[in-house]
Amino acid sequence: MPDWKGPLGEAFERATTYLDGMPERPVGPRATAAELHHALGGALPQQPTDPQEVIVQLAHGVEDGLLPSGSGRFFGFVFGGATPAAVAADWLTAVWDQNAGLYAASPAAAVVEEIAASWLVELFGLPSGTTVGFVTGAQMANFTGLAAARHDVLRRAGWDVERDGLIGAPKVRVLAGAERHDTVDRALRFLGLGTSCIVPIEVDGQGRMRADALAAALTESDGPTIVCAQVGNVNTGAIDPIREICEMAHAAGAWVHVDAAFGLWAAVSPSLKPQLKGIDQADSWATDAHKWLNVPYDSGLVLCAHPDAHRAAMSVRASYLIHDEQGERDALEFNPEFSRRARGFAVYAAIRALGREGIAEIVERCCAMAHRFADTLAANGVTVLNDVVLNQVLVRFGDDDELTRAVVRAVQQEGTCWMSGTTWQGKAAMRISVSNWTTDEDDIDRSAAAVLRCLDGA
């Protein structure tokens, strides 16, 4: 019998030590790439090594190269953390090692994903019958949603893109905000539409798509059109006027895809949901569970109000595959992967453990903590560039690019917290994203004090 307890016991001890130490762990990597290569590299192993010793060596070698993004004081990107139930379910996912592509390959994985999908549709307030694909992240969620959109707008124009490709097809326009996320452009490249199909729509001072500018663009052509809206600008957190966008786009025969990598979770909160008015009128949505649901990477979600378009863009048939004749869910009909990890277990566990109220509490607390961060910095003379509507805070120091970049570097090196820099409207800024389920007032106050210390020393 193989020794499972040795390596798994070692991994458990290492994992719990890491998690228990997270609240006081310096928030940032401490090793250079050269140091990591020295600790982990070497010649190709020729002989077997005891599995437990491999885990010891791996854990020791990576220790100083880890970015503790699960910390309550990590604000660099909208990463989120991982709740206990989600981590435990993810560990079991690795142990069970299910191929979640087909019902026949894992009935349990298929049913759990189907249940989690129905819960997600209800949580977000989306139309009954909305289909869900469990993908890697918002990049592939945008890809899949836009693939369904491409199928549908070309089908209505009399073109079968899955059969005939894009050569000779009617030109597809994609109307997207000037401050859209880069994953939209990348998805369009993957889909063969190219970035030249994008018609940038003017945005307001916070990055929201201007409804009047969209209305004008919609009148310029009656060909196949996709409108790509945004819920949660990556810098400001701003939310496009979704209801107006959907009404105008649908009147013009366009498909509306919503890039809502973190912002869609605001729909779970009674106090924040009014900002997403009309979200249920869109045709497809992209979001991440590893953001505000706080499940381990990777866990993206694509949702589509038109199951036929979703399946047409993604499904596959082969003689050797066993498709369930009773209509049970084959996951490969809803995402671009074939064989894949059973991501639904962690999503199911997170929702089951938190419930609607627990998820709403995380979202609302993160937004409240973002306001607290912004208010504290503003009270100390720091310029807050955005209206804090969700969890994003954008700040600038002394109206000076070099000073702002210097403060970002100093904060990252100091270790109390970790933020990233960005460029917004041509100016350097510090971008603060609050999305971890553990972040509390003490984390915010300690982090704000660290930022101000670094500013004084810059």
Predicted pLDDT of residue 444: 98
Tokens read off for 69? 């993004």
DSSP code for 74? B
Tokens 């004084």 identify what position? Answer: 456
How far does CA 13 lie from the centroid of its chain? 29
Give per-residue burial for 348-384: e unless 16+ CB within 10 Å, then b. Answer: bbbbeebeeeebbebbbbbbbbbebbbebbeeeebeb
DSSP, collapsed to helix, strand or coil, labels residue 392 as strand
Taking the C-alpha atoms of residue 79 and residue 433, their distance in angstroms, rounded to an integer, is 8
Q: Is 134 helix (H, G, I), strand (E, B) or coil?
A: strand
- Say if strands 392-396 and 420-424 run parallel, antiparallel, or are unpaired: unpaired
DSSP 27: S
Amino acid present at 35: E
Cα atoms found within 13 Å of the Cα of residue 225, Cβ hemisphere only: 22
What is the maximal distance between C-alpha atoms in the chain?
70
Q: What is the pLDDT along the chain (458 residues), one digit of tens a residue?
A: 899 999 999 999 999 999 999 999 999 999 999 999 999 999 999 999 999 999 999 999 999 999 999 999 999 989 999 999 999 999 999 999 999 999 999 999 999 999 999 999 999 999 999 999 999 999 999 999 999 999 999 999 999 999 999 999 999 999 999 999 999 999 999 999 999 999 999 999 999 999 999 999 999 999 999 999 999 999 999 999 999 999 999 999 999 999 999 999 999 999 999 999 999 999 999 999 999 999 999 999 999 999 999 999 999 876 566 666 677 889 999 999 999 999 999 999 999 999 999 999 999 999 999 999 999 999 999 999 999 999 999 999 999 999 999 999 999 999 999 999 999 999 999 999 999 999 999 999 999 999 999 999 98
pTM: predicted TM-score of the whole model, two decimal places? 0.96
Q: How crowded is the C-beta side of 384, counted as CA atoms within 13 Å? A: 19
